[in-house]
Amino acid sequence: MHYPPEPFRIKVTEPIRLIPPEEREAKLIEAGYNVFALKAEDIFIDLLTDSGTGAMSQEQWAAIMRGDESYAGARSFQRLKAAVEDIFGFKYFVPTHQGRAAENILSACLVQPPGKNPAGTGNQWVPSNMHFDTTDANIRARGGRPANLVIDEAHDPANPHPFKGNMDIAKLKAFIAQYGREQIPFGMITVTNNAGGGQPVSMANLKAVAEVYHKHGIPFFIDAARYAENCFFIKQRESGYEHVSVKEIAREMFALADGMCMSAKKDAIVNIGGLLCVNDEKLFADIKNELILREGFPTYGGLAGRDLDAMATGLYEGLDEDYLVYRLNQTLYLATRLNEAGIPTIQPTGGHAVYVVASEILPHIPNYEFPAQSLAVELYREGGVRGCEIGSVMFACLDPETNIWHYPRLELLRLAIPRRTYTQSHMDYVADTLAKIKSRASDLRGYEFTYAPELLRHFTARFEPLQQVTHEHLGLVQK
């Protein structure tokens, strides 16, 4: 695997520094062994997220200078409106400060708690292929229950299925039959599937999902944070789309849905921003009222005008196919280097990140002792590299009805690659660092919570390292 040449030149640099090992250890203790709590200045290579961390282009910086800071009806909003209508095709939209704000507003408008929903009793459910963390939490925060109905192949890291983000249509039909339309206020699908390895969803599957939702009168929403990468995978892997532009694929994708929510900090390559788009006029009126209450006026949605202009430009840059070739191949390069070192990753490689299968590197650490968290801590300890745990810290949850803990089937360390930010030498350094860790993986131990909030605990939890592998259940019941 050869490293792809960057389709850009670097005009501005930011210094980074590898602090000494003893300082890294002190920083981990100070952070409660939660890499989210580390200071950016103490990170050498930061692969925690690809959200709002990419480098903006000269055109985006020029757009920022054009930004109109009017409270209502700004020119910046009109430019964003034109881009959103051109690319996505929905009738109505509002900007938000980021994707979770769009999820919050959507859930506030559609999800009703038990006793107040049309079914009268019980929770409302929102099915998807796999909900990511903030989507999951926003549904739960409104009294709803998220459900993940991804195909079984998604849970097999080595399975080469080209569209492991697909929804299992049989599971979806059975789910709707079990709970009924009244208990499903809307349905979703995430493109690409972040919680399952950044895996794409095929157009054929999107059409099948849309057909099932619409047959039952269920509004269909797409979580579109990485829609451009998903569209490029369709172009690469799905028959009949080889000669279709990514933008045309995007229009076909969104024409299937009733709306979308999007963190623009991903495929619009901006530092901050999000979108919530719908076709239903009544729902749009509710969304505007909620937006004004929580975010801001509908023509700025919690953002400055310059941010709207940067987003309008970035939406088109994210669709550039030369950039997408580079983007996907940079990710593939890192995965290939890791695989050559015997480090297992989710196959095939996704678009925005490499997902290391922590449970295979650390089979002696059970899921309730958080193997992916252990690997994330060790990656910083060894090389000053920050990654993100995608496993039982993030997704294990207690069923309030049965009091049973449910654990995710995958324990992953996500190495999210910021857009247009790092070079080949940085990727080589990350691969070499993980190879060193693998050589002494049996020495690593698990972690336990010293503090954890009920929702989104991975952001602020604190941990202590276990001194030995306990192989005890710590009083929890698994399923």
Has residue 471 got a pLDDT over 50? no
Query: Two tokens at 190?
Result: 């995430």
Q: What is the pTM of this model?
A: 0.93
Find the catalytic residue in 266, 309, 358, 441. Answer: 266
- 355's tokens: 């997902």
**Annotation marks residue 225 as catalytic:** yes
pLDDT digits (tens, 9 = 90+) for 111-140: 998 877 666 557 899 999 999 989 999 999
Question: Is 39 an active-site residue?
Answer: no
What would the CATH number be for the domain defined by 21-50+321-465? 3.90.1150.10
What percentage of the chain reaches a pLDDT higher than 70? 96
CA distance readout (Å), 77 to 66, 264, 306 = 12, 15, 10
The catalytic residue among 77, 88, 132, 300 is 132
- In angstroms, the Cα distances linking 391 to 64, 368, 397, 407, 414 are 38, 10, 11, 8, 10
In this structure, the number of other CB atoms found within 10 A of the CB of residue 460 comes to 13
Mutual angle of helices 169-179 and 203-215, in 10-degree steps: 20
Q: Is the pLDDT of residue 162 over 70?
A: yes
pLDDT value at residue 468: 61
Name the catalytic one among 42, 223, 307, 309: 223
Residue-wise pLDDT tens digits, 342-388: 999 999 999 999 999 999 999 999 999 999 999 999 999 999 999 99
266 is catalytic: yes
| 132 is annotated as an active-site residue | yes
Reported confidence tier of residue 479, pLDDT bands at 50, 70, 90? very low
Q: Which of 42, 46, 50, 133 is catalytic?
A: 133
Indicate whether 474 pLDDT > 80: no
Matching residue, tokens 């290939």: 336
Domains of the chain, by residue range, sit at 21-50+321-465, 58-317
Euclidean distance between CA atoms 317 and 83, whole angstroms = 11
- Paired with 92 in beta bridges are 278
Taking the C-alpha atoms of residue 97 and residue 79, their distance in angstroms, rounded to an integer, is 17
Taking the C-alpha atoms of residue 276 and residue 189, their distance in angstroms, rounded to an integer, is 15
Is 443 designated active site? no
| Domain 58-317, classified CATH 1.10.3720.10, yes or no | no
pLDDT digits (tens, 9 = 90+) for 175-212: 999 999 999 999 999 999 999 999 999 999 999 999 99
pLDDT, tens digit, 9 for 90 and up, residues 198-249 = 999 999 999 999 999 999 999 999 999 999 999 999 999 999 999 999 999 9
Task: For 335-349, write each residue's pLDDT tens digit.
Answer: 999 999 999 999 999
Nearest to 459 by CA among 9, 14, 3, 48: 48
Asked if residues 220 and 257 have their Cβ atoms less than 8 Å apart, the reply is: yes
Q: What mean pLDDT do residues 298-307 have? A: 94
Catalytic site residue from 71, 72, 158, 473: 71
C-alpha torsion 62→64→66→71, nearest 10: 170
> Does residue 472 have a pLDDT over 50?
no
User: Under a CB-based contact definition with an 8 Å cutoff, are residues 280 and 301 in contact?
Assistant: no
pLDDT tens sequence across 26-63 = 999 999 999 999 999 999 999 999 999 999 999 999 99
* 473 has pLDDT over 50: no
